[in-house]
Structure 1
Amino acid sequence: MDAATRVEELTALHGTLEGAPLLAAVHRAFGGRVALVSSFGTESAVLLALAAEATPDFPVIFVNTGKLFGETLRYRDQLVTTLGLTDVREVGPTEDDLAAGDPKGMLFTQNYDACCHLRKTVPLDRALVGLDAWVTGRKRFQAATRAALPLFEAEGERIKINPLAAWDKDRLETEFTRRGLPRHPLEADGYLSIGCFTCTERVAPGADPRSGRWAGSAKTECGIHMTTIGTAR
């Protein structure tokens, strides 16, 4: 069955589910050949909590680019312990990758896209080998490029699942409060979307939450999510 047909099937079977029941259903549907990819950023705790509620051993992939904030790494450890996650897989660029593509560690100053590809896309592609689907934390309200985000989408031969696509900021905040989830320590300082420390800035009040990523450039995605699914389509 090709990915587009599988999307239709998943939508028919599980399109009305949400939260932990949805994640439990897709975990069963893919027989474990599915993982949740998390940045452990400002909004990540809600989706991780839902996955832990579905099953504590829901596989979680965390891409450590080697240039993440120390606060993000400590927050990851806090959430893993707090939520009881038992299968968190850290991946990142290999020594050979860096020696060939960024030996001085300064590629981000020359080419954002090349740096993201080397440090994030390539490691994730390796981690996804053998998986039929992956879960993302993307939401429609985050950016114009995500405004028409579906629950299930086909990308190549894999399925991407976006359980929080229809959630707005208020609903996320309510869930944080209801569950007593810890916040990313940089959020209170104005960092609303957090990637590498080299390319993340504070967000101005009322601005697009992702405007602090690669500020001053036309870049809006790291390269993992490149399909345009905004209102223009």
Structure 2
Amino acid sequence: MANAVRQIDVIDTAPKFTPESARALDEKWTGVETTEMLRGLLANPPFEDLALVSSFGAESAVLLHIVSQIDKSLPLIFVNTQKMFGETLAYRDELAERLGFVDLRVYRPDPYLLAQKDATGLRWNYDPDGCCDIRKVDPLRRALNGFDAWLSGRKGFQSGTRTALPRFEADEGRLKINPLVDWDKAQLDAYFDEHKLPHHPLEAQGYLSIGCAPCTSKVADGEDPRAGRWRGWDKVECGIHTPEADDPVF
């Protein structure tokens, strides 16, 4: 009897999206208006599963409103670090309800990880990077499990580290899309006014970029909009937004 040949299935572990494929999409959609681009992407998506991630911060309502006009059933992910302003949580509920999103998913830090690495809840005070990793990066990584693409609300004007942002990035093998990357503050303000969107209640008090309560402060006139984040630390990002090794460092 001839020996049977055993077929071994090979699992493709290569990332679906690479810096090169992200750059190709960036070139394809260059110059296309934001809403038109999003409609086109959702009509003929280069991905299988897409999520919208929002911090429900000072400018979040713009992207949320644009997406809600296209697909209210898109999964909407919010990471509650358990250090958020109460105003942010109330704003989240108000805005998600007003815009009609039907799949709001809230993720929190792993309680076992918190017990091991931040039992006092004060890690932000001596290790903000470690705090962000536990309370933001890890929960979002869990939230995005099963998605191969996600929408981010980053804008190029927000800080010096974001001025060269592309619309499309590779992020841990996923596609990260920044639809508002070329919007400036005047455009955002005009969109708020045109669509009568509610502002985050803390914005009027001088909070122009709103994250966790312990690490967010008011921004003075003329300061970078993100100057109030991690003030006094050599830190400008929480760790969620980091470039791939082959990407330009912004």
User: Same fold by TM (over 0.5)?
Assistant: yes
**2:176 maps to 1:164:** no
**2:38 maps to 1:23:** yes
For residue 56 of structure 2, the aligned residue among 20, 33, 40 is: 40
Q: In 2, are the aligned partners of 1:24 and 1:55 still within 8 Å (CA)?
A: no
Aligned-pair CA distance for 1:105: 0.9
Q: In 2, are the aligned partners of 1:20 and 1:53 still within 8 Å (CA)?
A: no
Cα deviations across residues 114-170 of structure 1 (Å, max 9, x unaligned)? 000000000001111111111111111111100101111122311111100000000
* Cα distance between partner residues in 2 of 1:135 and 1:123: 16
* Cα distance between partner residues in 2 of 1:26 and 1:33: 12
Look up the match of 2:121. 105
Aligned-pair CA distance for 1:13: 4.2
* Cα distance between partner residues in 2 of 1:19 and 1:75: 24
Judge which range, 153-162 or 135-144, deviates more.
Answer: 153-162
Runs of 4+ in 1 over 4 A off after TM superposition: none
Residues 1:180 and 1:216: Cα distance change in structure 2 (over 3 Å): same
Where 2:170 maps in the other structure, the secondary structure is: strand
Q: In 1, are the aligned partners of 2:208 and 2:225 still within 8 Å (CA)?
A: yes
Residues 1:75 and 1:173: Cα distance change in structure 2 (over 3 Å): same
Q: In 2, are the aligned partners of 1:93 and 1:119 still within 8 Å (CA)?
A: yes
Equivalent residue letter for 1:11: D
Look up the match of 1:179. 195
Aligned-pair CA distance for 1:42: 0.3
TM-score by length of 1: 0.93
Judge which range, 86-95 or 188-197, deviates more.
Answer: 86-95
Where 1:50 maps in the other structure, the secondary structure is: helix
Figure out how many residues of one structure are paired with residues of the other and give that number: 233
**2:77 maps to 1:61:** yes
For residue 166 of structure 2, the aligned residue among 129, 150, 173 is: 150
RMSD across aligned C-alpha pairs, in angstroms? 2.1
After the TM superposition, which residues 53-92 of structure 1 pair with which residues of structure 2 at under 5 Å, given as runs? Answer: 53-92=69-108
TM-score by length of 2: 0.87
Aligned-pair CA distance for 1:217: 1.0
Identity of aligned residues (%): 48
